[in-house]
Structure 1
Amino acid sequence: MPGNDNRDPLDSWLNQQVRPLPPPPGTFQLITRKARRRKLRKLAITLASAAAVAAAAAVAVPNVLALRVAPSPVTGTPVAAGSSPASNSGTPRPTGSGSRLASPATSTAGSGALHPVPANFQPVSVTFVSTQLGWAIGQGGTAGHCADQNPYICTSIVRTDNAGQTWEGGPAPKTSGPDGAVGVSAIRFLDGVNGWAFGPGLWATHDGGTTWNQVDTDGQRVTDLETVNHRAYALFATCSGTGADFAADCTRYTLMTTSAGNDDWVPVGDPTNGLTDGGAATSAVLALTSTTGYLIAPNGALYSGPIGGVWQQAGTVDCQPGPAQANGLPSRALLALQDSANLAVACAGPSSGAVTVYTSDDSGAIWTPQPAAAWSGIASIGTPTSLAAAPDGTLVLATTNGLYVLPAGASQWKPATVTGAGAPAGGFTYVGMTTNSQGVAVAADPALHEIWMTFNGGGTWAPATAITPGN
């Protein structure tokens, strides 16, 4: 029949165009939102993984070269009997502007990565900002063959992050000038980032010692520098001494300060500007606690004030600082702070071996001399060079004969035990206590290649490092 479809009805139905049912309203928007969230989660995981890898790369600093430990080539730091670097107690505090070089010096390094400790490194100044982290400055290499515009200037800096057990070399200020007028000879760090090299010039780092930049002192010399609580304080002096005696014949001192990360130094205030002893050549000295700073002026006046504020005269000590030692510190009045109110001053007498220690428990208003019996049984003390106080009140005195300790609460000084061959010839030029148990000292003879440390409160000292040619 014309017009009739002879196919099976089922075939006709199957060949019809199929129209899918539409999804419920909002389905496509829901799928889009879920896909977007899934992509964001994957991206976050990828970024976190990349950050973890970057952090691991940042802390994976290679151990460049360990210093050999005296007196034998064993690994690790000799420590006081019955003690270890892990046994430190007390609140760590920065120690040590240290002793100065025998002559103003410039450096061999000016930038960049860590280096091996230079052969023949001779440490002369040391600073610790914690029980583990510290720096030392000194001469390295052989004079006449150093990689500098002046091959006779070989100053280098080394760093430890394990209480002196091992050290690695790093950049030092690249100073200039044939007479060493802007050279540096001491080192002081505030933390692991901000540090200063000084004496007579002034250089700063704000990246942990990777780079150093010179700070303009307007022709003045920096004879002392201390740090605490995001600030640094320094004595800027007018001096006429030359060469190794850069801190000699200083007649005027001004207390200056700056904040961490800042290279603009400003006077603390009018009372501590232009301090003098009537024009006589003398010295001055600084000491800081976490809240209060103290300064013995050339004429023996004691100034103090809050960290970050103006200082005023607080009293007078019973001895004047006198001419500077070769390291820039006073020869007759050495200052140490047990806390913000308890002070000690070691006053050298007119003859070698004569010393009187004065203490004050009222911020320096009244001073009490320790009785002569405090030194009974000690035949010859030598000439005092540096005084330190631990947080618990223990006092440690460095002299040309050795180290002496007055434990907290004790009434009599006693010689510290110096292991090995005993106190080095010439004694020590600097001592500082980081905690109640841990401290550091610098020998007067840098050619010994030694930094000395204690881990039992100053009772026993041992050379922590010996840097020999070939390291």
Structure 2
Amino acid sequence: MNSDPRRASEPVNDDDPVARFFAQQRDSVESQPATDLDWQRILRSARTTTRRRSHVTIIASAAVAIVALFAIWSWQQPTKQTGVDTTVPAATGQPRLGSGPATAPNSTATQQPFAVPKSFTTWSVSYAAQNTLYALGAQTCSSDGTCPVLLRSGTDGQTWSAVHTFEGTDVSSATGQTVPSIQPSGAATQVRFATATTGYVFGGGLWVTHDGGASFTQMQHPGDIVLDVEIWQGQIMVLSASGCTQGVCSGPVYVSKISAQSNNDTDMVATTSPSSAISAGRIVVQNNQTYVELTSSGSAASPSAMRLVGGNLVPLTGPSSCASTPIQALTPATNISALVLYGLCDERVSGADATYTVVRSTDDGQTWTTVSTSALTLPNLGQVWLAAADEKHVVAATGGQPAGSASTATGSGNVLVSGDGGGSFAPAAVATPATGVNWLASPGSRIFYAFTRTNSQILVSDDYGQTWGVIDPTR
């Protein structure tokens, strides 16, 4: 008879053969100290048995260990000191995932729509579906001073309602005239929607909604910080990084894909280690092609934009007119079936202005042709944006003056329009502040959107960028 007092009342003592069998199995288990390898085995076992009903108890037990591990693990790879490492790590299993801010909830309570706050300032805009727009921005909150709020319009911007307030997020770097692209892990400053109801809010952390913004669930992701999310016809790609602090990341940088139906399924597909710290990162997705663009911090030269080929990130090589400078400001034409890419290179700064060479590719970025070498001149502000509706209609803009820099820009010439595919540019009929625009994009058709991040207004053009009107969610 077993002398363990905890089992004195078990059915085994009543000569139950089934209970006796399980009791004997428990007696045969030897206690062992847990090691990192044991935890990894538990994690791997939990992932491979989630679809088996008979293993529900094992999964529940492993979940406690997984939560603890995610709180202390960050998925790191050695950083190369020179060049760009485009090799995918040898490990083929799931990457260790950053869990985002420790203080942020895993999910938020469902909220009911409410009136748009009069204090709303636009930070990010997403065209979700026909007639459906989302805007993420700031509102005045009694608890934190400022907190992010998500707005929704089902009338193509004519009427709006607020659908979700993000309490407790990190807004320490999200306000002010100069806002770093790389935010703290607890920040929520950007929005991207895949459908009218499924979308993502990010800016350091990553959250997903499947009910039009009423509720959100925090997602795991490789690295510390989410740099960008981009969506094309259900293809959802995430750019994230490790080694991030005070608006810069030393890397590695990770490219992942996620399922639109998932709350927590992030699969890493590629990684790269930049030769110097980065201050921004963008991901571009179109026609099943993915591109990554990194901006180096300080005076270091930025690497060329890269194309995802299999599991590798391959740098794009421009024509001789680029003078061996990297291709940046990469953008696809959105209103045509074929993939046509535009980019800028060979920046030449003169006083308060900068002139760029415009290049184009029609073979997924494998080769590039020169469109113009001196047709595009913009005020020399912090960020250059390029957007194309088709192979003829291109809009260029600049804005977001870097901290500590001086500019004599007046707002004139911050947005330029081309009707010949970048061969020539002319000023658009739009008024912008001296700091220019903070974002520019075309969802297709004749439409372009932009905003300045200084007020609630969203700039919109329905004539290929020639003239612009204003959408104001607060009115």
Residue 187 of structure 1 and its aligned partner are, at CA, apart by 0.5
> Which residue of the partner structure matches residue 331 of structure 2?
336
Equivalent position SS for 1:460: coil
Q: Is 1:170 paired with 2:168?
A: no
Matching residue within 449, 459, 463 for 2:456: 449
> Which residue of the partner structure matches residue 264 of structure 1?
264
Residue 457 of structure 1 and its aligned partner are, at CA, apart by 1.1
Mark the CA change 1:178 to 1:186 in structure 2 (over 3 Å): closer, same or farther.
Answer: closer
Equivalent position SS for 2:221: coil
Structure 2 distance, partners of 1:139, 1:280, is: 29
Mark the CA change 1:181 to 1:310 in structure 2 (over 3 Å): closer, same or farther.
Answer: closer
Q: Is 1:464 paired with 2:457?
A: no
> Which residue of the partner structure matches residue 238 of structure 1?
242
> Which residue of the partner structure matches residue 222 of structure 1?
226
Q: Is 1:434 paired with 2:443?
A: yes
Q: How does 1:82-231 map to 2 (within 5 A)?
A: 110-141=109-140, 146-147=141-142, 150-176=143-169, 181-217=185-221, 220-231=224-235
Q: For residue 384 of structure 2, what is the amino acid of its counterpart?
A: T
Contact 2:225 2:244 in 1 (8 A): no
> Which residue of the partner structure matches residue 99 of structure 1?
none
Matching residue within 292, 296, 305 for 2:293: 296
Contact 1:440 1:452 in 2 (8 A): yes
Structure 2 distance, partners of 1:226, 1:348, is: 26
Contact 1:426 1:444 in 2 (8 A): no
Deviations 1:58-108 (A, max 9, x none): xxxxxxxxxxxxxxxxxxxxxxxxxxxxxxxxxxxxxxxxxxxxxxx999x
Q: Is 1:423 paired with 2:418?
A: no
Structure 1 distance, partners of 2:380, 2:392, is: 21
Residue 345 of structure 1 and its aligned partner are, at CA, apart by 1.2
Equivalent position SS for 1:155: strand
Structure 2 distance, partners of 1:320, 1:379, is: 18
Residue 384 of structure 1 and its aligned partner are, at CA, apart by 4.3
Residue 361 of structure 1 and its aligned partner are, at CA, apart by 2.0
Structure 2 distance, partners of 1:175, 1:279, is: 32
Equivalent position SS for 1:303: strand
Root-mean-square deviation over aligned CA pairs: 3.0
Residue 163 of structure 1 and its aligned partner are, at CA, apart by 1.8
Mark the CA change 1:356 to 1:444 in structure 2 (over 3 Å): closer, same or farther.
Answer: farther
> Which residue of the partner structure matches residue 412 of structure 1?
424
Contact 1:123 1:139 in 2 (8 A): yes
Contact 2:124 2:191 in 1 (8 A): yes
Residue 161 of structure 1 and its aligned partner are, at CA, apart by 1.4
Contact 2:371 2:422 in 1 (8 A): no
Report which structure shows greater RCO (CA 8 Å, sep ≥6): 1
Structure 2 distance, partners of 1:208, 1:429, is: 25
Residue 336 of structure 1 and its aligned partner are, at CA, apart by 0.1
Deviations 1:289-343 (A, max 9, x none): 14322223563252135xxx7565273355777xxxxxxxxxx821101265421
Structure 2 distance, partners of 1:211, 1:250, is: 33
Structure 2 distance, partners of 1:113, 1:428, is: 32
> Which residue of the partner structure matches residue 25 of structure 1?
none
Equivalent pairs, count = 330
TM-score (norm: length of structure 2): 0.62
Deviations 1:415-448 (A, max 9, x none): 1111xxx222311011111223112101142xx3
Bigger Rg over Cα: 1
> Which residue of the partner structure matches residue 395 of structure 1?
394
Q: For residue 341 of structure 2, what is the amino acid of its counterpart?
A: L
Deviations 1:386-414 (A, max 9, x none): 22121454221121342112225562111
Structure 2 distance, partners of 1:296, 1:380, is: 22
Equivalent position SS for 2:151: strand
Bigger Cα displacement from structure 2, 448-457 vs 233-242:
233-242
Structure 2 distance, partners of 1:365, 1:218, is: 28
Q: For residue 196 of structure 1, what is the amino acid of its counterpart?
A: Y
Q: Which protein is richer in strand relative to its size?
A: 2
Residue 156 of structure 1 and its aligned partner are, at CA, apart by 0.8
